[in-house]
Structure 1
């Protein structure tokens, strides 16, 4: 895998578009370049660092994760009644994407502080589903589901549209999420593909259809989630996300073939996702995190790059 370098004007436009996806309105830009030498929750030679650098796979995987989350009635009610998605969907998506980037690439001290803030907010979120079932956002079972669906989304998006993921890579990806899961309160979250498969099977009886799933997809299709230059691709990426959810989930939710990719659209998504995996963007969290650890900008794009053992910092 080699880095992709585009003509400067085009590169700048693409980089600005990706940067906007991670910048909630009214918030100061988050720098991943400091403090120098501070490690993240996972190391730079991890599978997580390789996969999360791809903005196309991140978008597709994130949408797939939300579809799965909304299939669980307690999570669905909590998200729909206690978040700003319906009123400010773009801001909500940006904050979620930024949190994912911090969890993978952020300096550990700031990441732990961010997660602690989320945990404190969860402590005050509770309610009852329309069917009369109580829920708490701090419920470890629900946190495990949210954590597992996020990891599932990026793994499946990469496997379907970027490159095949070997079993050992999947196992490493899920194991690398153990620290973040513990900090979020999702103790017992899957740490291997086998554990994830068993968890999905155990959750089958909990998942159910809801009009809210279709509301989510409709809102997302019309929201300016991507910058204007990339907006024509937004519908394709949403369809790509539907396609990577498990077939039995799609059947249960009523997501038929009309919600997925057409045959001619799949090669377009693959080409975009593969190009995104090679494009070095200096303002991306992945590249900034590499700089923080003394690694070259193309470390995650060039397999001949120096070993991350050289990124331990002075002393």
Structure 2
């Protein structure tokens, strides 16, 4: 995908990645077969920080890495997934490389990252949101997700298909407890960590929160929403010269701060546009 894509902008924002990643896992854990695969075959319960680090690295390589590097990494992930299979607690057999499950995992990740950015960093028009989904199609196919959504409308259609298959589970609440206790942020910033975890719950579709039993106390208080948006907007302005986004810009012959300048230009255009 090109460096001027909305995907490059979304993935350079650390708040969107953290909040969106947590929201994606919550959605994943509502599907019994995915839940069994994640909970029984990964290190989320024992080392959530390392698991998040590996997931984040995979996302960075997929978006910002050279195509050959991304293809090699994705092939390795596919080989690992080939060994992941079993029977979920409801009696359904599962394989991690099942196309239906891969479509769901891909969709939840794309929805999580995009809507965390849309809700907590800056609003994006529908055309850009659709472009984000379309951008991810090629990588999704490499992972084996042949039916991943290519637009927001297709995401909503997939939600409709999956809704009857999702179930409430104490594993979701255990995941949230683990994430609150994990040393993701330094100790002085632990209140921010808890705030962003609540933001992840807040951004989930209302129908899903009702299904999962995630009541109002699990999300943001009314006064916290503007605070998260301030943090998200600030994170979008912080230039990280060693970030994958900056390194990828250099690799393509662009200035290291290319994405930050592009975001500033976009913000200037929005602020000068008539309301």
3-state SS in 2 of match to 1:274: helix
Figure out how many residues of one structure are paired with residues of the other and give that number: 265
Gaps of 5+ in 1: 1-41, 307-315
Partner of 1:221: 180
What is residue 243 of structure 1 aligned with on the other side? 202
How far off its partner does 1:267 sit? Answer: 1.6
1:83 aligns with 2:42: yes
What's the CA shift string for 1:187-245, capped at 9, x where partnerless? Answer: 11111111111001111101110000000000000000123453331000000000011
Tell me if 1:164 matches 2:164.
Answer: no
1:196 matched to 2:196? The reply is no
For residue 261 of structure 1, what is the aligned residue in structure 2? 220
Correspondent of 2:8 among 37, 40, 49: 49
Superposed displacement of residue 69, structure 1: 0.3
SS at match of 1:127: strand
Deviation at 1:304, TM superposition (A): 8.9
- Decide which of 275, 280, 305 is 2:239's aligned counterpart: 280
Distance 1:304 1:87 in 2: 38
Q: Against the structure 1 CA distance between its residues 180 and 276, is the aligned structure 2 distance closer, same or farther, given a 3 Å change threshold?
A: same
Larger fraction in helix:
2
What SS does the corresponding residue of 1:248 show, helix, strand or coil? helix
Aligned partner of 1:101 in structure 2 is 60
Give the SS at the match of 2:145. Answer: coil
Match of 1:252 in 2: 211
Corresponding position: 1:209 with 2:165? no
Partner of 2:229: 270
* Match in the other structure for 1:303: 262
The corresponding residue for 1:10 is none
Separation in 1, partners of 2:10, 2:46:
30
Aligned partners of 1:226 and 1:234 also within 8 Å: yes
Contact 2:64–2:248 at 8 Å: present in 1 too? yes
CA contact (8 A) 2:241 2:257 kept: no
RMSD: 1.4
User: How much does 1:129 deviate?
Assistant: 0.7
Query: Using the alignment, how far apart are the partners of 2:116 and 2:164 within structure 1?
Result: 25
Structure 2 residue ranges without an equivalent (≥5):
266-275
Please report the TM-score for the alignment, with normalisation by the length of structure 1: 0.82
**In 2: Cα distance, 1:94 partner to 1:303 partner:** 27
Asked whether the equivalents of residues 280 and 297 of structure 1 are also in contact (C-alpha less than 8 Å), the reply is no
Question: Take 1:296 and 1:110, find their aligned partners in 2: how far apart are those partners?
Answer: 22
Q: Contact 1:221–1:234 (CA<8 Å) still a contact in 2? A: yes
Q: Which residue of 1 aligns with 2:270?
A: none
Aligned: 1:143 with 2:113: no
Give the deviation of 1:305 after TM superposition: 9.6
Question: Residues of 1 paired with 2:194 and 2:171: CA distance?
Answer: 18
SS state at 2:259 partner:
coil
SS at the partner of 1:135?
A: strand
Secondary structure of the equivalent of 2:148?
coil
Ranked by relative contact order (alpha carbons within 8 Å, sequence separation 6 or more), the top structure is 1
Q: Does structure 2 retain, via aligned residues, the 8 Å contact 1:240–1:261? A: yes
Q: Give the direction of change, closer, same or farther, for the CA distance of 1:185–1:70 in structure 2 (3 Å limit).
A: same
SS at match of 2:240: coil
Q: Does 2:113 match 1:113? A: no
SS of alignment partner, residue 262 of structure 2: coil
For the pair 1:63 / 2:22, whether they are aligned, the reply is yes
